[in-house]
Amino acid sequence: MTTAYTADSIKVLKGLDGVRMRPAMYVQGGTGVDGYHQLLTEIIDNAVDEALAGHADEIEVVLEKDGSAAVSDNGRGIPVGIMASEGKPAIEVIFTQLHAGGKFDSESYKVSGGLHGVGSSVVNALSTYLQADVWQNGIKHRIRFERGEVVEPVHEIGAAPKGHSGSKVSFRPDPAIFKDVPDGFDHARMKRRLKELAYLTGGVKIILEDHRHTEVRRDVFHETGGVAAFAESLVRDEKRLYPEAIRIGDSVTIDQDGKPETIEVEVGLLHTHGYGQTILTYANLITNRDGGTHLTGFKTAYTRVLNTYAKNKNLLKKGEATPTGDDYLEGIACVISVKLGDPQFESQAKVKLLNPEAQSAVQSVVYERLTELLEENPKTGKTIIEKAASAARAREAARKARDLVRRANPLENDELPGKLADCQSQDPAVSEIYIVEGDSAGGSAKQGRERRFQAILPLRGKILNVEKANLGKILKNAEIRAMIAAIGAGVEGTGDDAHFDLADVRYHRIIIMTDADVDGSHIRTLLLTFFYRYMRPLIDAGYLYIAQPPLYGVKIGRQKEMQYLFDEAALQKVLKEHRGKNIEIQRFKGLGEMNPEQLWTTTMDPESRVLLRVTIDDMLEASETFEMLMGTEVPPRREFIEDNAHKARLDL
């Protein structure tokens, strides 16, 4: 039977119906945890835009017990007057019509992150209720919506305190839309974002209150040091090469199709004794995870200035390698922030800035200001050049080691015999490799695997902590070299000789499989640190996984089949449900204690196993966490352990 396609088949979705029907089209992150938090981010961004325009200096975010959130500011207040073109109050139009807002008027908001005008209305559409209170001209106004529909038109509800103006938007995400977000707003996630905004706005006071606990949690962020203070927050005092972060800031006016446009540029940077680099980029306070034109402009000017400075001051020894751009970036913590009128991004996620004028502006400001700063602070300049020269020497020393791991077929590498048990498949899309802790577990894995598409690489002992070593030392480590050779794509972060090509990866599932104990957790963290610092494209592509081996095997009564449990809570539940029955419990302290059949059934069989895909949702948090857990400083690590010790499981 064929259904007729007629004029009656055409449906017109009115108002915000389309948003509720297809929320993933309008919300970055869809209806999952990311999309849920994006609603709050949209409302916060509106308050921040008011602050950037110079009309507000305080923002408050409150998380309520019922799952709702409220954002208030002391700005001008959302317009409540009648729009002549619509015949409705402006505040109603803003919350009920897509592509409506003050961001399209360059006089109202010269700088804004959300230029599409869909944020407020989308939040309204996807909330069980949204209420906006506005204080203007001595009067308090209110409007209320339910699932996008007006239930209380804008009306006066009293007098506003003398001299007070501003807005407060309260809303509760609709659980019918966000079905898989049972825990509500994540306090730590919002705290990080608000702290980040406090640095980037440079002087705006931002308050976070969480009312969901017995005692109200209150955090106040008021950072007047801007991006320089932000850069300093990314490192520890003991690791600095010089006392204070370098701040570079200025505005540049560029002709855009016959119309002048002013671009504000701020850069804060600080060098450390470490080997990695942390560079955070923002356009109109929006995080650009993949950088973009502003990052390109910075790197170009930064490398040019330092090369010129080193040459003019005769700071490089004759016969030694000239530092590359990556050598100059070794150990850097850097924050780059630009504000411009019409930001263009690569995608809806806004991970990469595309504006060419941003590159020109950053390049100009960094070149001029950094040149001046180095002339005024010769000791700092000399220290930076010496650090880069040391990185260049290490890079040269690593050349031979790096060549060893570039061979197309890792089985030809004389470092690998007896370690890698490769799979038969030559297709990376279906091939997977288990990186296994120890020869004992490796033996069980080799016997239990499906050799057609599963490869096994056992590691002996704990691998090198890459957070405490330079690349030259890292590439001399036999276990790391074996991993790099088996994966086949090379390593990142080695200057002009950097070699990492995702197309050369030999397995599209790289699975870390360690024991479910303290030592196994440590080895897993060491491996994750290595992959994050030197093979991050694997994570971005979704190729890195963590296996989930069981902690216990139990047989209840006369059961023949063993039931596998993955945590202590599951065991306690079984014990409670079968209290007084005959329960046999087997504790798997290591993968080697499981026979090949058990290891296959519980951890390696694609039909029954559980794999955790490694993702990086927050670059700042990831970098800080690896630095804290694996870096050279003991106090932050001790503080972390003390704060989280109550969550640990004692392994006996």
**Any residues with CB less than 8 A from the CB of 399 and at least 6 apart, and which?**
497
Position 99 scores a pLDDT of 64
**Contact at 8 Å (CB) between 594 and 444?**
yes
- Percent of the chain's residues with pLDDT above 90: 44
**Contact at 8 Å (CB) between 462 and 526?**
yes
List the alpha helices (DSSP H) in 541-578: 568-577
Using 50, 70 and 90 to split pLDDT, how confident is the model at 84? confident
Position 633 scores a pLDDT of 57
Is 519 catalytic? The answer is yes
pLDDT tops 80 at residue 118:
no
Q: Within the chain, which residue ranges are assigned CATH 3.30.230.10?
A: 226-397
For the segment 171-176, the average pLDDT, to the nearest whole number, is 95
pLDDT tops 80 at residue 646:
no
pLDDT, tens digit (0-9, with 9 covering 90-100), for 493-524 = 644 445 788 888 999 999 999 887 777 878 88
List the catalytic residue out of 49, 196, 326, 515. 515
For the segment 541-570, the average pLDDT, to the nearest whole number, is 84
pLDDT, tens digit (0-9, with 9 covering 90-100), for 567-592 = 778 888 888 888 767 788 888 877 87
pLDDT tops 60 at residue 57:
yes
Q: Rounded mean pLDDT of the chain?
A: 83
**Contact at 8 Å (CB) between 241 and 387?**
yes
List the catalytic residue out of 517, 540, 593, 633. 517
pLDDT tops 60 at residue 559:
yes
State the DSSP code for 375: H
Is 517 catalytic? The answer is yes
Q: How many other β-carbons are positioned within 10 Å of the β-carbon of residue 523?
A: 21
**Contact at 8 Å (CB) between 35 and 29?**
yes
Point out the least confidently predicted range of 90-94, 193-197, 408-412.
408-412
Position 112 scores a pLDDT of 55
Position 124 scores a pLDDT of 94
Segment of 57-71, 102-116, 530-544 carrying the highest mean pLDDT: 57-71
Task: Collapse the DSSP code of 505 into the 3-class scheme (helix H, G, I; strand E, B; otherwise coil) and give the result.
Answer: coil
pTM attached to this predicted model: 0.69
The CA dihedral of 83, 85, 87, 90, to the nearest 10 degrees, is -30
The H or E element that residue 450 is part of is: none
pLDDT, tens digit (0-9, with 9 covering 90-100), for 462-499 = 788 887 777 778 878 888 888 988 998 888 764 444 57
pLDDT tops 60 at residue 545:
yes
Q: How far apart are the first and last CA of the chain?
A: 67
Position 413 scores a pLDDT of 45
Position 6 scores a pLDDT of 46
Cα–Cα distance between 84 and 102 in angstroms, integer? 15
Cα–Cα distance between 115 and 49 in angstroms, integer? 11
Query: Each residue of 349-381: b (16+ CB within 10 Å) or e?
Result: ebbbbebebbbebbbbbbbebbbeebeeeeebb
Q: Within the chain, which residue ranges are assigned CATH 3.30.565.10?
A: 17-221
What token pair was written down for 196?
A: 């980040």
What token pair was written down for 584?
A: 């046999």
Nearest one of 99, 92, 97 to 115, comparing CA atoms: 99
Angle at which helices 518-534 and 619-630 pack, to 10 degrees?
Answer: 130
**How far, in Å, are 8, 21, 126, 149, 480 from residue 11 at the CA level?**
8, 13, 21, 20, 58
Is 183 catalytic? The answer is no
pLDDT tops 60 at residue 359:
yes
Position 100 scores a pLDDT of 58
Is 255 catalytic? The answer is no
List the catalytic residue out of 92, 174, 357, 437. 437
Cα–Cα distance between 279 and 153 in angstroms, integer? 47
Position 62 scores a pLDDT of 97
List the catalytic residue out of 34, 64, 219, 519. 519
Using 50, 70 and 90 to split pLDDT, how confident is the model at 303? very high
Position 386 scores a pLDDT of 94
Task: Collapse the DSSP code of 440 into the 3-class scheme (helix H, G, I; strand E, B; otherwise coil) and give the result.
Answer: helix
Task: Collapse the DSSP code of 263 into the 3-class scheme (helix H, G, I; strand E, B; otherwise coil) and give the result.
Answer: strand
Q: Within the chain, which residue ranges are assigned CATH 3.40.50.670?
A: 409-549+612-627
pLDDT tops 80 at residue 245:
yes
pLDDT, tens digit (0-9, with 9 covering 90-100), for 199-209 = 999 889 999 99
Residue 350 vs residue 530, higher pLDDT:
530
Block residue for tokens 């799979």:
423
Q: How many other β-carbons are positioned within 10 Å of the β-carbon of residue 250?
A: 15
pLDDT, tens digit (0-9, with 9 covering 90-100), for 29-45 = 788 888 899 999 999 99
**Contact at 8 Å (CB) between 196 and 229?**
no
Position 643 scores a pLDDT of 47
Concatenating the DSSP letter of every residue in 383-401 gives: HHHHHHHHHHHHHHHTHHH
Say whether domain 17-221 belongs to CATH 3.30.1360.200: no
Position 495 scores a pLDDT of 47
Tell me which fold the domain 409-549+612-627 belongs to. Rossmann fold (3.40.50)
Q: How many other β-carbons are positioned within 10 Å of the β-carbon of residue 420?
A: 19
pLDDT, tens digit (0-9, with 9 covering 90-100), for 588-605 = 877 877 888 888 988 999
Tell me which fold the domain 226-397 belongs to. Ribosomal Protein S5; domain 2 (3.30.230)
Position 312 scores a pLDDT of 94
